[in-house]
Amino acid sequence: MTDTTAPAASEILTDVHQGVGRIRLNRPKALNALTTSMVAAVDDTLATWEGSPLTAVVLSSTSAKAFCAGGDMRAIRQNVLAGDAEASERFFATEYRLNARIAEYPVPVVALVDGICMGGGLGLSVHGRYRVVTENTVLAMPETALGFFPDIGAGYFLPRLPGALGMYLGLTGHRLDAADALYTGLATHFVPADRVHLVPEALAANPHTPVDTVLKDLGDGSVVPRSRLAAVRPEVDRAFGSPTLAGIRAELRRLDGAWAAGALATLDAVSPRSLEITHALLTAGRDRTLRDCLAADLRLARTTIVQPDFLEGVRAVLVDKDHTPVWQPA
């Protein structure tokens, strides 16, 4: 093994073993919430490895609870309050550069999404070729509840999910389990949590076997429960396929069932401004490249983080945790 592991205090741990590069996110107490230095370290590592004869790169976590809870939004809010919005802009620019690198990486990137994966965590995983989930996986893009918007290229990948699933997930922040993640296509493989740690070694031991085959073998025929999201798919497509936010609300009222009532209540609870931004972003993203979407994300992030709804949303959810935000009109 060629060990390039940084000191224990490092935010990421890296090594290369028999042609497989491994990057482990290492802020377990913060559920691997991403900092500028953390995303820069991952990006620098991938850049360094681009010229190496690797067969795959595996992204995982040292946390037993989370793959990655997303960007450190509390720090971003604090930067703005301290009059240093530029520091937060640097974070987003660095993060989006990393998202593009993962999407364009010359060898397969395999994300082991065991546990919580939200916001920026999807940016680290969904742009790679393979996304492995376990029975512990929870995926979400919860940004509208924070007065923000689904960034990290979500304007590209959410509109490309089947039917209106992407619009539903982006506007509501609905949480997906492993079955839902596989159903939507946000995940590609299921491996039980007690076997997922075997992925890097299995890839290293089988360099001439397709990655897809190695991951399926590790799944060992595991049966994943039926997706709960699949059960309401007709309602999702009918309501969230509407071309306007007003139309979405009207369809939800017409459906008049438990799922529709819950979705409507969620839309009423999150930031009205974030809903407007997200709907426009996902609609435009259907005709944009990933890099175009990331560029749009950066422009929007610059203006959104200084708005009252972002400061209030992060306060209510992540700082004071009273979950009673007072939103501005859209």
CA distance 197 to 104: 25
Which tokens in the block code for residue 37? 């230095």
CA distance 302 to 244: 25
- 71 is an active site residue: yes
Give the confidence band of 220 by pLDDT, cuts at 50, 70, 90.
Answer: confident
11, 43, 151, 297: the catalytic one is: 151
pLDDT digits (tens, 9 = 90+) for 9-57: 599 999 999 999 999 999 999 999 999 999 999 999 999 999 899 999 9
Q: What angle do CA 326, 263, 277 make, to 5 degrees?
A: 55
71, 153, 173, 285: the catalytic one is: 71
| Residue bearing the bigger pLDDT, 47 or 225 | 47
pLDDT digits (tens, 9 = 90+) for 59-84: 999 999 999 999 999 999 999 999 99
Residue 51 pLDDT: 86
- Crossing angle of the two packed helices 36-49 and 85-103, in degrees rounded to 10: 30
- 262 is an active site residue: no
Position 6 pLDDT exceeds 80: no
Structural domains present in the chain: 2-319 (3.90.226.10)
| Side-chain half-sphere exposure of 239, counting CA atoms within 13 A | 27
143, 235, 309, 312: the catalytic one is: 143
115, 119, 120, 153: the catalytic one is: 120
> Could you tell me whether strands 66-68 and 20-25 are parallel, antiparallel, or unpaired per DSSP bridges?
unpaired
Find, among 286, 274, 275, the residue nearest to 246 by Cα: 275
pLDDT digits (tens, 9 = 90+) for 230-262: 999 999 999 999 999 999 999 999 998 999 999
CA distance 216 to 157: 24
Residue 263 pLDDT: 98
Is 68 within 8 Å of 25 (Cβ atoms)? yes
- Crossing angle of the two packed helices 233-240 and 258-269, in degrees rounded to 10: 40
State percent of the chain over pLDDT 70: 97
Position 7 pLDDT exceeds 90: no
Residue 168 pLDDT: 98
SS (H, E, C) the chain: CEECCCCCCCCEEEEEECCEEEEEECCHHHCCCECHHHHHHHHHHHHHHCCCCCCEEEEEECCCCEEECCECHHHHHHHHHCCCHHHHHHHHHHHHHHHHHHHCCCCCEEEEECCEEECHHHHHHCCCCEEEECCCCEEECCHHHHCCCCCCCHHHHCCCCCCCHHHHHHHHCCCECHHHHHHHCCCCEECCCCCHHHHHHHHHHCCCCCHHHHHHHHHCCCCCCCCHHHHCHHHHHHHHCCCCHHHHHHHHHHHCCHHHHHHHHHHHHCCHHHHHHHHHHHHHHCCCCHHHHHHHHHHHHHHHCCCHHHHHHHHHHHHCCCCCCCCCCC
pLDDT digits (tens, 9 = 90+) for 144-186: 999 999 999 999 999 999 999 999 999 999 999 999 999 999 9
pLDDT (average), residues 91-119? 98
Is 165 within 8 Å of 86 (Cβ atoms)? no
What is the pTM for the complete model shown?
0.94
Give the confidence band of 2 by pLDDT, cuts at 50, 70, 90.
Answer: very low
Residue type, 154: A
Is 94 within 8 Å of 36 (Cβ atoms)? yes
